[in-house]
């Protein structure tokens, strides 16, 4: 009887959760990132969704979470390209509990200066900028042309949409969503501008005052339209 040799495992499998528009862009950044690493040829990249409806997305295999965890490799990494902060946290917790490691995805065209503290699992799209002396929490999304200025503190699972700007001395709570083209004006070293946990900053808004937790604000200047007692619109 001829014995069948077991297929060799790849060195790394990297799964990007979410094959929507943002996820597809993140995958292109990841491809560039992997090519720069020695041994990248033995790295398998996949999209992961709970219930995949197709086999390939932009030429990359789309698999279920169950299959992602069952694939054999020497190392397994993930990131979550899904805007909803609660879903992002749940997925991250599941992956870490299953032994997968978070992987920062950072475009070569992003500019992240020194003297910053950045938590695990961040995504920095092309032309995103972080200047100096900032602290950013876990699983941050810095979309294309987003900017965070000096002396700001950003919580966990925060999303900066394309073209959004945070000027210096701004404190942002966990799970805040900053809409495309929104501006958060600078606070001061004596009193930072405060954006409360779970707040939503509407597209194109200009925030000049503190925003309460779980509140949605829109407009120029931004004003509250929904509070934590309203139905979410995220």
- As to burial, measured by CB atoms within 10 angstroms (0-12 exposed, 13-18 middle, 19+ buried), residue 9 is middle
Is 141 tagged catalytic?
no
Integer Cα distance of 5 and 41 in angstroms? 22
DSSP per residue, 164-214: -EE-SSEEE-TT-EE-TT-EE----SSS-EEE-TT-EEPTT-EE-S-B-TT
Q: Which of 82, 100, 121, 110 is nearest to 14 (CA)?
A: 100
Integer Cα distance of 7 and 72 in angstroms? 10
37 DSSP assignment: S
Q: How many CB atoms lie within 10 A of CB 32?
A: 14
Catalytic residue among 22, 150, 165, 209: 150
The encoded tokens of residue 110 equal: 């992003």
Decide if 64 contacts 93 (C-beta within 8 A): no
Integer Cα distance of 65 and 3 in angstroms? 31
> Active-site residues: which are they?
150
């Amino acid at each position: 009887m001829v014995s069948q040799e077991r297929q060799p495992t790849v060195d790394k499998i990297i799964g990007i959760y979410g094959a929507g528009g943002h996820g597809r862009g993140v995958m292109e950044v990841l491809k560039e990132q992997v090519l720069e690493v020695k041994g990248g040829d033995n790295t398998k990249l996949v999209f992961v969704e709970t219930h995949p409806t197709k086999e390939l997305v932009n030429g990359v295999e789309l698999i279920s979470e169950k299959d992602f965890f069952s694939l054999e490799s020497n190392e397994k990494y993930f990131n979550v390209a899904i805007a909803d902060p609660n879903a992002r946290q749940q997925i991250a917790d599941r992956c870490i509990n299953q032994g997968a490691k978070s992987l920062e995805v950072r475009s070569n065209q992003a500019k992240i200066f020194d003297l910053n503290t950045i938590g695990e699992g961040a995504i920095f799209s092309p032309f995103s900028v972080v200047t100096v002396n900032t602290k950013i929490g876990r699983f941050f999304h810095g979309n294309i042309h987003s900017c965070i200025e000096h002396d700001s503190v950003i919580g966990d699972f925060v999303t900066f949409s394309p073209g959004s700007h945070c000027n210096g001395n701004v404190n942002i709570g966990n799970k805040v969503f900053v809409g495309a083209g929104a501006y958060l004006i600078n606070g001061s070293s004596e009193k930072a501008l405060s954006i409360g946990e779970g707040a939503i900053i509407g597209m194109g808004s200009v925030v000049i005052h503190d925003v309460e937790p779980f509140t949605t604000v829109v407009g120029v200047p931004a004003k509250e339209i929904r509070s934590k007692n309203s139905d979410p619109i995220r």
